[in-house]
Amino acid sequence: MKYLVLIPDGMADEKIEALGNRTPMEAANKPTIDALAKKSLVGTVCNIPDGMVPESDTANMAILSFDPAVYSKGRSPLEAVSMGIEMKPDETAYRCNVVTLSDEGEYDDKIILDHSADEITTAEADELIRALQEKLGNELRRFYTGVSYRHCLIWKNGNDRYPFMRPHDILGKRIGEYLPKAENGGEEFYRLMKDSFDILNHHPVNEARRARGLKPANSAWLWSPGKKPQLPNFREKWGLNGAVISAVDLIKGIGLCAGMRSIDVEGATGNVHTNYDGKAQAAIQAFRDGHDYVYIHVEAPDECGHRAELENKVLSVELIDQKILKPVYEYLLECGDDFRIMILPDHPTPIRLRTHTSLPVPFLIYDSTKEQDGVESFSEESAAEKLFRVENGYTLMDHLIR
């Protein structure tokens, strides 16, 4: 038996007037997904445990069968693993976004305009991260370049419990009330973020971006701290040789911590312009190489939700259907083995809110050996109408495997 799990990150949404009171899932032309949905087990699942922040690390851990309430230690340590950083027990990892702040006023008065700095390229960001390391790095803290706007800070004896604000939750707002506070033990974090603006705002990379009409990546923003992670071995738990395919370090790190193979795809960006074809071919090759479980994560719908890009969010769902699911499904039909396909977003990222929510998400599980009575079109509403709900996302794998 072969297993394909496809995660269109943040695909679930709300009904939107501009789409004729439909969600992006309902508006998208997704013939392969809908064809499978007609003959699949369809329902909803809660991937975010009560009281936990609806982040992608929490949700994807749950989908991979690891209880986030037990194993989630923050997303940054997982990203550090993917980046090849060897963390020591006394070190804390922090996500270090390079974000766009407005120019006016003092640092506290600035407005956060973009959590991704117009999805800055990794090459440009690398120059900025190296500038931060030169000016702010020392024997206790080190900056590491990740992908696009997503980077990592390792801090010896750093506070791994500080309640940072997620930058994508405060877009368009004055940052002062959301910055680390001295009374909470955040004085060093505040000073580092403030100093980063002075270093980055007029850096040549940002001046060149302004000249091209792009937003500057003019400040670091720290969040999601955590210690070195440990996850159970996926193969030992399920008896499956698993692989993950993703453009983002977080998902790669979860896979690596679980003993799975992480497959890099050239041109995979984490946004709507990613290499969909490359991800499909990487999945097919992984099956041919002997992997019986392949987990494809596509960040594009989530990024479109954060950026309030309605047309691109619909487009990303259509491209996932056409360029990833269709060719992999056709391969599975022809390979001669029985197979199952599970499709679900990890969490909703509504266009209206521009951030994640904890609401249940729709899922489908197709079994090539046993067709079921599914739904005409896969959507948030049609899945909810089936009245089959999995309360704990980390148990969803039981329905897929067993």
Residue 255, C-beta contacts closer than 8 angstroms, at least 6 positions apart: 234, 242, 243, 244, 246, 261, 262, 295
Q: Which CATH superfamily is domain 2-73+230-401 in?
A: Alkaline Phosphatase, subunit A (3.40.720.10)
Q: Which amino acid is at 70?
A: V
174 φ/ψ angles, rounded to the nearest 5 degrees = -65, 135
Residue 261, C-beta contacts closer than 8 angstroms, at least 6 positions apart: 242, 243, 244, 255, 286, 291
Q: Do the beta carbons of residue 285 and residue 294 sit within 8 Å?
A: no
Query: What are the pLDDT digits (tens) for 343-370?
Result: 999 999 999 999 999 999 999 999 999 9
Query: What are the pLDDT digits (tens) for 318-349?
Result: 999 999 999 999 999 999 999 999 999 999 99
Tokens of 104: 């006016």
DSSP at 19: G
In the prediction, which pLDDT does 104 show? 87
In the prediction, which pLDDT does 262 show? 97
Query: What are the pLDDT digits (tens) for 153-190?
Result: 999 999 999 999 999 999 999 999 999 998 889 999 99
Tokens of 254: 């979860």
In the prediction, which pLDDT does 75 show? 85
Q: How far apart are CA 136 and CA 194, in angstroms?
A: 11
Q: How far apart are CA 290 and CA 242, in angstroms?
A: 9
What's the whole-number mean pLDDT along residues 252-259?
A: 96
Looking at the chain, which residues constitute the CATH 3.40.720.10 domain(s)? 2-73+230-401
- Predicted TM-score (pTM) of the model is 0.84
Query: What are the pLDDT digits (tens) for 287-321?
Result: 999 999 999 999 999 999 999 999 999 999 999 99
In the prediction, which pLDDT does 1 show? 97
Query: What are the pLDDT digits (tens) for 20-50?
Result: 999 999 999 999 999 999 999 999 999 999 9
Residue 39, C-beta contacts closer than 8 angstroms, at least 6 positions apart: 366, 371, 372, 373, 374
Q: How far apart are CA 346 and CA 62, in angstroms?
A: 9
Mean pLDDT of the chain: 96
Query: What are the pLDDT digits (tens) for 112-137?
Result: 999 999 999 999 999 999 999 999 99
340 φ/ψ angles, rounded to the nearest 5 degrees = -130, 145
